[in-house]
Amino acid sequence: IGQNIEYFKSIDSTNTFAKNIAPKSDEGMVIISDEQISGKGRVGREWISKENEGIYFSIILKPDIDIMNASFLTQVAGAAMVSSLEKMGVESTIKWPNDIIVNGKKISGILTEMSAEIDQISYIVVGIGVNLYNQSFEEEIESKATSLKKEGYDIDKKEFLQRFFLEFEDLYKEFLSGDKESTISILRKKSAVLDKEVYIIDRTGKTKVYARDIDENGNLLVEKENGSIETIFTGEISIRGL
Ligand code: BTN
């Protein structure tokens, strides 16, 4: 992972570019850009991606796995992120399924997109944005977002990427060999939601639940107010109200 890097000063979105070249690219190819003109967040949101503020990159993967397991790669990326940050002296947690939190605010997000035929994966693009040097954020997200710089950490872009690729590769290889143990253990240890009251937000509204565990597939197990346990599948919902 990251042996082969295509670097841009400016691009619309590293995810969009990666998806376009993925059919003809090798697994492990990485697209990085200094800025993105139309960076994408989850659920159609924008990911503001100015030069000298963050890292914006996408990894092309071609795992031979069932489509059911594809969303686990978001969890692999999240686990790789918190463990590489830890090695650089930064304590962070994961707000399931894919937000990385430092001191109660978001510093990084992951957007996984894929293409599959019938139930066979053609490729997966894991896109990651990290707020490194931002001094301020747009008003709507100012209270919820932060950067490593704002939290007092001076992290070098190159060093961060090298460490991240190493961590990601380790956990990814383990996952390909059929073992999710290390990733799950990081997800549990570094969870920002476990043992807390959280809100599940979906089309029908907001439901208060209690986050109980992360299962062996990376799904969130929640206890409803009536005491029943429900499995929340990765990527299906978002959780707020921490
Ligand atoms: C989120 O909503 O939290 C996910 C944000 C993902 C942003 C990254 S930046 C690199 C890659 N290219 C994009 O357009 N989006 C992802």
Question: Which comes out higher in pLDDT, residue 71 or 90?
Answer: 90
How confident is the model over 151-163, as pLDDT tens digits?
Answer: 999 999 999 999 9
**Distances, alpha carbon 50 to alpha carbons 53, 96, 240, in Å:** 6, 26, 26
- Residue 233 reports pLDDT greater than 70: yes
Per-residue pLDDT at 205? 78
Task: Report yes or no: 27 and 61 within 8 Å, Cβ to Cβ.
Answer: yes
- Predicted pLDDT of residue 219: 92
pLDDT score at 238: 58
For residue 235 the two structure tokens come to: 């990527």
Average pLDDT, the chain: 91
- Nearest CA owner, ligand 1 atom 2: 41
At residue 192 the predicted structure's pLDDT band, cuts being 50, 70 and 90, is very high
* pLDDT for the residue 234: 64
Query: What's the pLDDT score for residue 235?
Result: 54
Which of 5, 12, 111 for a ligand 1 pocket mutation test, highest count of atoms within 8 Å of Cβ?
A: 111
More confident residue, 142 or 183: 183
Q: How confident is the model at residue 187 (pLDDT cuts 50, 70, 90)?
A: very high
pLDDT reported for residue 69? 84
Looking from the CA of residue 57, the nearest atom of ligand 1 is 10
What's the pLDDT score for residue 43? 81
Chain center to CA of 43: 14
Q: Is 62 exposed, middle or buried (0-12, 13-18, 19+ CB in 10 A)?
A: middle
**Ligand 1: residues within 6 Å at CB?**
13-15, 36, 39-42, 45, 47, 49, 56-58, 99, 109-111, 127-129
Task: Measure the CA–CA gap between 89 and 173, rounded to whole angstroms.
Answer: 25
pLDDT value, residue 239: 61
pTM of the predicted protein model: 0.93
Nearest to 27 by CA among 67, 68, 73: 73
State pLDDT tens for residues 166-186.
Answer: 999 999 999 999 999 999 999
Per-position b or e across 9-42, b if 16+ CB within 10 A of its CB: eebebbbbbbbeebeebeebbbbbbbbbeebbeb
Q: Which residues have CB under 8 Å from 93's CB, separation 6+?
A: 82, 100, 101, 190, 191, 192
Instruction: Return d(Cα 36, Cα 49) in angstroms, integer.
Output: 5
Average pLDDT of span 70-95? 95
Comparing 7-16, 154-163, 179-188, 200-209, the range with the smallest average pLDDT is 200-209
Higher pLDDT, 25 or 203: 25
What's the confidence (pLDDT) of residue 155? Answer: 93
pLDDT reported for residue 62: 95
Instruction: Determine the distance separating the centroid of ligand 1 and the alpha carbon of 107, expressed in angstroms.
Output: 12
- Best mutation site among 15, 50, 51 for ligand 1 pocket (most ligand atoms within 8 Å of CB): 15
Cα(34) to ligand 1 centroid in Å equals 13
Q: 220: which 2 tokens? A: 């969130």
What pLDDT, on the 0 to 100 scale, is given for residue 66?
Answer: 83
CA 136 to centroid of ligand 1, rounded, Å: 18
Which phi and psi (to 5°) does residue 156 adopt? -80, 135
